Chain A
């Protein structure tokens, strides 16, 4: 029998029982649907994690200043209701780290710790003194005006982030560049607006969008290293050189080694006081990928089980089908169907069933993924490979679970059935 004829015959038989065929392949539909949904969601999560972490820069090591835990503080040192603390990353740390192998450059930022007000409202905006390469290090772009330049010297000019602009000015105001903003007793001319579209957050700085940036030179001249604040009637004096280092390495493959050396150095220099924190985006990326892989394995197993159950369901129905069609099989054998023809007929029927079920499952899975994006706001990602994989799996399931019923059909003895009414 020609292959074309076998395929036609099998398809024809399925079309006779459309509802039954659909019901039979329900297991496969849901199995494949869950595989597709799972793959899309996990791939989406993966890609988002990737872009999030990449937004911090995979060739960066981020070090930030932390206020040390109060346990080690000597309370009796308090005089005149005031409290002076010196902590965090220092100029000496910067110079030392810069001399290490594999370190290309260090961008720094120092928070002025000044409240920024609009009228009497305190805004969620901070002013930072930064090195001139900070714009690249924080992965932001100038959308209006210009970035800080060496020729500014210690003049009072600033660049504000997009979020800071929204906080400081009303939405209808135009021509922000050139305007003057006041911070404490000082006033700054806005020379540019920056925007970060990658969702970068940097420890010690936060989102670049919510910053006002002045040059390190101006910051040193105006604020120095000391900040004075009155908290609960007490004067709080803090001496902090830097809040953030963004260390750029030359060779990413040695980033772990470099990070370890920096950590060892800082622990030693800071007498094991944990007033600093280190983040290696590449490390986080690897960890995230690992958890992601575990998640994927677990989800795959669940999807695999549902596919298995679906396959067994199909095998069951096909076996019943073989019994029901004994007379047809016997007649075909009498008229010249070889055992192979019968096997092919039933096997193709099963493969058609699982493949059609698989196709519907793909559509269902995409729909689920779509709904998840819509309502749970999870990122999902589709790939043509998922669909190919799902269809391949369903065809393979058809072969695995269709072989036994098909073989059973071919073993039917035509004598037993031909005279049966």
Chain B
């Protein structure tokens, strides 16, 4: 696993080519994504922004392999995923995508350590290795002293840090974060952003979906969606802004 994922920074992590998604409600077709193109390179920290109705959520589901596009190409880690079965998609989700949710989505009855270990459990990792990795990841998010606590005993910020640790355990190709600061106050939100920056500096690829423009300048690139299309890309590394017709 490590041989595949430890590719050089700068190579292609994700590629989306002309992704379209149309929902059929009765007799009316509702196009939600009308051809979205972009790629994410290894080690990049990408923000995807847009107001509600922009197609952001649908794009998130497609990126997370929870939904399939109506047409278009989606390549994850060099592999086209449109034709894969539910079983294969689940395996890829498990190993190559690290999910971080707005509402943390921790299991309240499991301890912090058990929560962190869930994706490894589904990957069939043995318990010894699970313990070793979960302790290491808890250390990374500075929760090593909280391993035996339950999520109800933690603050919101701590919960989100547990979720981040959980997203890292299978050494994924990228982390897919959905409004990770949405349920947190500003100070804690900034802390979580700093955690993502730390991971970013260590070489982790991150795609963050948000409607909050507050951290716009902190991403390598920000992709703005409007009406199911990409309309503006801000490149903070090269200090460029591109605009597209929608």
Contact of A419 with B122 in the complex, beta carbons under 8 Å: no
Enumerate B51-74 residues with CB–CB distance to A below 8 Å: 57, 61, 64, 66-67
Q: Which residue of B lies closest to A333 (CB)?
A: B90
Contact of A12 with B66 in the complex, beta carbons under 8 Å: no
- List residues of chain A with CB within 8 A of the CB of B67: 415
Contact of B105 with A418 in the complex, beta carbons under 8 Å: yes
- List residues of chain A with CB within 8 A of the CB of B166: 335
A251 at the interface (CB under 8 A from B): no
Which residue in A12, A336, A339 is a CB contact (below 8 Å) of B119?
A336
Contact of B57 with A5 in the complex, beta carbons under 8 Å: no
Looking at A327, A334, A341, A419, the one whose CB has the most chain B CB atoms below 10 A away is A334
Contact of B93 with A334 in the complex, beta carbons under 8 Å: yes
B199 at the interface (CB under 8 A from A): no
Question: Chain A interface: which size bin?
Answer: 20 to 34
> Which residues of A come within 8 Å of B, CB atoms?
1-2, 5, 9, 12-13, 16, 327-328, 331-339, 341, 414-415, 418-419, 421
Enumerate B112-157 residues with CB–CB distance to A below 8 Å: 118-119, 121-124, 126
13 contacts between A and B (CB under 8 A): A1-B122, A1-B124, A2-B124, A9-B121, A13-B109, A331-B101, A335-B93, A335-B94, A336-B93, A415-B66, A415-B67, A418-B105, A421-B103
- List residues of chain B with CB within 8 A of the CB of A337: 90, 122
Contacts A13-B109, A16-B109, A418-B66 given; indicate if A336 touches B103 (C-beta within 8 A). no
B80 at the interface (CB under 8 A from A): no
Contact of A338 with B124 in the complex, beta carbons under 8 Å: no
* A96 vs chain B, min Cβ distance (A): 85
Contact of B66 with A331 in the complex, beta carbons under 8 Å: no
Which residue in B57, B90, B110, B126 is a CB contact (below 8 Å) of A419?
B57
Interface string of B82-93 (1 = CB under 8 A from A): 000011001101
Contact of A336 with B66 in the complex, beta carbons under 8 Å: no
* B179 vs chain A, min Cβ distance (A): 9
- List residues of chain A with CB within 8 A of the CB of B57: 419
Contact of A338 with B87 in the complex, beta carbons under 8 Å: yes
Contact of A334 with B64 in the complex, beta carbons under 8 Å: yes
Which residue in A1, A336, A339, A415 is a CB contact (below 8 Å) of B86?
A339
Count of B interface residues, CB-CB < 8 Å: 30
Q: Which residue of A lies closest to B103 (CB)?
A: A421
B95 at the interface (CB under 8 A from A): yes
Q: A332-B118, A415-B61 are in contact. List 19 more A-B contacts (CB 8 A).
A: A1-B121, A5-B121, A9-B121, A327-B105, A331-B107, A333-B90, A334-B93, A335-B119, A336-B90, A336-B93, A336-B94, A337-B90, A337-B122, A338-B87, A338-B90, A339-B86, A341-B122, A414-B66, A418-B105
In whole angstroms, what is the CA distance A418 to B110 when docked? Answer: 19
Q: Which residue of A lies closest to B91 (CB)?
A: A336
Contact of B107 with A328 in the complex, beta carbons under 8 Å: yes
- List residues of chain B with CB within 8 A of the CB of A414: 66
Which 9 pairs between the two chains have the least Cβ-Cβ distance?
A336-B94, A336-B122, A331-B105, A335-B119, A415-B66, A5-B121, A338-B90, A415-B61, A334-B99
In whole angstroms, what is the CA distance A332 to B122 when docked? Answer: 9
* B45 vs chain A, min Cβ distance (A): 21
Q: Which residue of A lies closest to B126 (CB)?
A: A2
- List residues of chain A with CB within 8 A of the CB of B61: 415
Q: Which residue of B lies closest to A410 (CB)?
A: B86
In whole angstroms, what is the CA distance A171 to B77 when docked? Answer: 100
Q: Which residue of B lies closest to A16 (CB)?
A: B109
Q: Which residue of B lies closest to A327 (CB)?
A: B105
In whole angstroms, what is the CA distance A333 to B64 when docked? Answer: 11
In whole angstroms, what is the CA distance A338 to B95 when docked? Answer: 12
Contact of B118 with A418 in the complex, beta carbons under 8 Å: no
- List residues of chain A with CB within 8 A of the CB of B102: 419
Q: Which residue of A lies closest to B109 (CB)?
A: A16
Contact of A338 with B122 in the complex, beta carbons under 8 Å: yes
- List residues of chain B with CB within 8 A of the CB of A421: 103
In whole angstroms, what is the CA distance A61 to B153 when docked? Answer: 82
- List residues of chain A with CB within 8 A of the CB of B93: 334-336
Q: Which residue of B lies closest to A341 (CB)?
A: B122
In whole angstroms, what is the CA distance A341 to B121 when docked? Answer: 10
In whole angstroms, what is the CA distance A334 to B95 when docked? Answer: 11
* B156 vs chain A, min Cβ distance (A): 14
- List residues of chain A with CB within 8 A of the CB of B103: 421
In whole angstroms, what is the CA distance A415 to B59 when docked? Answer: 12
- List residues of chain B with CB within 8 A of the CB of A5: 121
In whole angstroms, what is the CA distance A333 to B87 when docked? Answer: 11
* A421 vs chain B, min Cβ distance (A): 7
Interface string of B205-222 (1 = CB under 8 A from A): 000000000000000000
